[in-house]
Structure 1
Amino acid sequence: MDIGVLLPTGTAQWGAADPRELVAFGRHAERSGFSSLFVNDSLISPRIEALTMLAALAPVTEAVTLGTAALLPFLRRPIQAAQSLASIDLLSGGRLTVTVGAGFPGRFGRPLYALSELPWERRFARLDETVALWRALWDGADAFHGEILRFDDIPPTTRPFRAGGPPVWLGGATPAALARTGRLYDGWLPYPPDPADYASGLRTVHKAAADAGRATEDITAALFVSVRIDEDIESGRRALDDYARVTYAMPLEELEKIQAVVTGSADQVLDHLGRYATAGARHVVARLGALDLPSQRDQLERLADLIPAVQPAAGTK
C-alpha cells in the first residue's frame, strides 16, 4: 500500500508560518518516503490554490506523484483547466494524478456553483463531460460535442507529458459515483468511515468496470483518510476534535460519521490502516490532523515511520 500525504495548504493548517515553507514540506515528505503529495481545492476557506501549489512542487520534486484530492473542475473554465493540468504534467515529467469531484450539498456545493456562475443541476453530467473534454484535448482534438459542453474550432492546446494525459480518479461513494468510477475513471478516492463499506464500494466499482469491458486492475483503489498519531486514542481524538471544529465547524463525532478518521498510537493507526488494506485500498492519501506547520511536520515524521510496515521490500510483492 502506497502512502501519500495531503499538503496543509489551508491557512488553518499552516497558521502563522511562511506559506512558502509548504514547498520545503513537500520536498521533505518525498525524502521521507511518501509516494505522493496531494492538495485539495475550495473557494470556501483561504488556501493556496491547488494547481498553483502543484506547479510550484513539480520542478523541485523528482519521483513523487503530484495529485489533487479533489479538484473541483466547475471552479474553472474547462479548456483553461485542461491547459493547466497538461502543463503541470509536463513540468513534473508525467507525475500528475487528477482526482475530481462535483462538490457536495451545503456550503461546499451550491454556493460555489453560484460563484462560478454555473447551475447546480446536472453537475455530475457536467463533471463527466469536462473530463471527457480534457481527454479529447490531451489527444489533440479540435472540437468537442457533448450534451452540455460544445466547442468547435479549438486551436492547438498544450499536450501533456503522457499520451492520453494524466490518470483521472473520482472522489465519491454514492451508488451513482461507484458506477461512474467503474465505467469512466482511472481510480477511486473515497473516504468511507468503515472499511467494510470500502470493500463493498470497491466490489461495485469492479463490477461496473467489468460490465463496461474494462480491466479492474486498471482502476487504482485509493483512500482519503484523516490521520493523527498520538499517545493513545483519547489524546488523538481530542486533537482531531480541535481540527474538525476549525476546519469543518463541526465536532469530531459528526465528522467521523461521514469521513474516514484514524487515530491512536502508531500501532493502533497501523492496525486501522491495515483494515483498509484488507478491504482493497492500495494508495492512502493521509490528511494530517494538526493545526500549525510544526505540528504538521511532527505528524509527518510519525507517519513516515510507518511506511516500511505497509510497503513491501524491494523485489517482493
Structure 2
Amino acid sequence: MKVRIGVGHVPVGAHDPAAGLAELADELEAHRVDSVWLSDLASAPHTVDPLIGLAYIAGRTRRLKLGTGVLILPGRDPAVVAMQLAGLAALAPGRVLPTFGIRPAQPADRPAYAVPPGRHAEVFEEALTVVRALLSRPNVTHHGEFFHLDEVSIAPLPAKPLDLWLSGRLPAALDRVGRLADGWLGSNITSGEAEACRVRIERAAADAGREIEPDHYGTYLTVVLDDADERAVGALLDGIRRRRPDGADPRTLVCRGWAAAREEMRRFVDAGLTKFVVRPAAPVTSRRDFLDQFVAELGPMET
C-alpha cells in the first residue's frame, strides 16, 4: 500500500493573511508535496472557504492534490457542493480529494450551517447521497425528506468518479463510513484508536455488502516544532481537550518534534493507515523552512 503524506494549513506568524495561500501553493508544488488540505472554519480569522481556496491553489499548481479536511456538508446545498466539486475536478483532473464532516468543530461556526435541531445525521446522509448521485450520473431525480431534485444534471461530470471520504470517530460515524463512504480521515486520535476505528469501518462495510480499499484510511498528524509558541500550543491542546470530552490527554495526540512524528506515523502504518495530513501545532516563522524540514524528516517515509 502506498504511504502518502500531505500538508494542512501552515500559518505564518500571529496574523497570516488569506493571501498566504499563494505562497503555500507555490512552496508545496516546489517541494513536490503530495497534497494540501484546507479546513472548513467559517469564523476563523484569515481563512477562506476550502473549495474557493482549493480552486485558487489548483490554478497555481499542476501536480499537487487538493483535499478538503474537512468540508462540513449539513447546512450546505448538496447540489451546489456537487457542482463545485465537478468544476474543481475539471480544473484539476485526478487531483481532487473531498472529505466531508457532519458538524463544525468550532461552536462559533455552527450558526453558519443551519440544520433542523437533532437531525444532523439524517441531513448528512441524504446530502451525501445527493452529492454522489450528481457526481456520477448524467441526470438525477431525488425526492427525500430534506432535498428535492427533478432531472438535475451537472457538467462536466468527472471522468472518474470522485472518492468521497468522511471523518468522525464515534461509533455511528464509523458505521456511516462503512455504509456510504470510500475512505476515512481521522483526527486527534492515537494509533490504537485508529486501528479500532478501521476495524469497525471494515465490519460496517462488510455488513453493507461493500468494501473500502485498504489504503483509504488516513489521519491528521500535528507536530509541535522546537521553536513553537507555547501559548499557541496550549490553545491548541485546550481545543483538542474540548473535542475529546472522554478525558483523553491531548498531549498524547500531538507529536513533539519530527522524530516523534516519524515514530507515530510508523505506529499508524502498523495500524493500517497510509494517508497522512501533517500540520504544525502553532504558526511557523517560515513556510519554506517548515517544508524543508517536512520533506527531509518525513519524505523518506512515503512509499
Closer/same/farther in 2, CA of residues 141 and 251 from structure 1, 3 Å limit: closer
Closer/same/farther in 2, CA of residues 258 and 158 from structure 1, 3 Å limit: farther
Amino acid at match of 1:132: T
Normalised TM-score (structure 1): 0.83
Alignment of 1:255-294 (within 5 A): 257=248, 261-292=253-284, 294=285
Quote the residue 2:24 is aligned against: 25
Q: Distance in 2 between matches of 1:120 and 1:103?
A: 12
Alignment of 1:118-267 (within 5 A): 118-138=115-135, 139-154=137-152, 156-164=153-161, 166-217=162-213, 220-230=216-226, 239=229, 241-245=231-235, 250=238, 257=248, 261-267=253-259
Quote the residue 1:69 is aligned against: 69
Q: Any idea what the Cα deviations from partners look like across 1:150-177, whole Å, max 9, x if unmatched?
A: 22243x322333333x211111011011
Q: Any idea what the Cα deviations from partners look like across 1:194-232, whole Å, max 9, x if unmatched?
A: 2111111101111111222222326610102212232xx
Partner of 2:140, secondary structure, is coil
Partner of 2:70, secondary structure, is strand
Quote the residue 1:83 is aligned against: 83
| Farther off after superposition, 99-108 or 187-196 | 99-108
Amino acid at match of 1:80: V
Give the ranges of 4+ consecutive aligned residues of structure 1 lying more than 6 Å apart after TM superposition: 251-256
Q: Distance in 1 between matches of 2:93 and 2:106?
A: 38
Q: Percent of pairs identical after alignment?
A: 25
Q: Distance in 2 between matches of 1:209 and 1:4?
A: 26
Conserved 8 A contact 2:221-2:255 = no
Q: CA RMSD in A?
A: 2.7
Quote the residue 2:33 is aligned against: 34
May I ask how many residue pairs the two structures share in their alignment?
295
Gaps of 5+ in 2: none
Q: Any idea what the Cα deviations from partners look like across 1:244-275, whole Å, max 9, x if unmatched?
A: 51x68x37776783867332343222112211
Matched, 1:7 2:28: no
| Farther off after superposition, 87-96 or 211-220 | 211-220
Conserved 8 A contact 1:133-1:144 = yes
Amino acid at match of 1:136: A
Q: Distance in 1 between matches of 2:104 and 2:51?
A: 21
Amino acid at match of 1:242: A
- How far the C-alpha of 1:301 sits from its partner, in A, is 2.2
Q: Any idea what the Cα deviations from partners look like across 1:36-92, whole Å, max 9, x if unmatched?
A: 110000222121121111000112212221010100123422211111111111101
Q: Distance in 2 between matches of 1:252 and 1:208?
A: 27
Q: Distance in 1 between matches of 2:59 and 2:53?
A: 11
- How far the C-alpha of 1:241 sits from its partner, in A, is 5.0
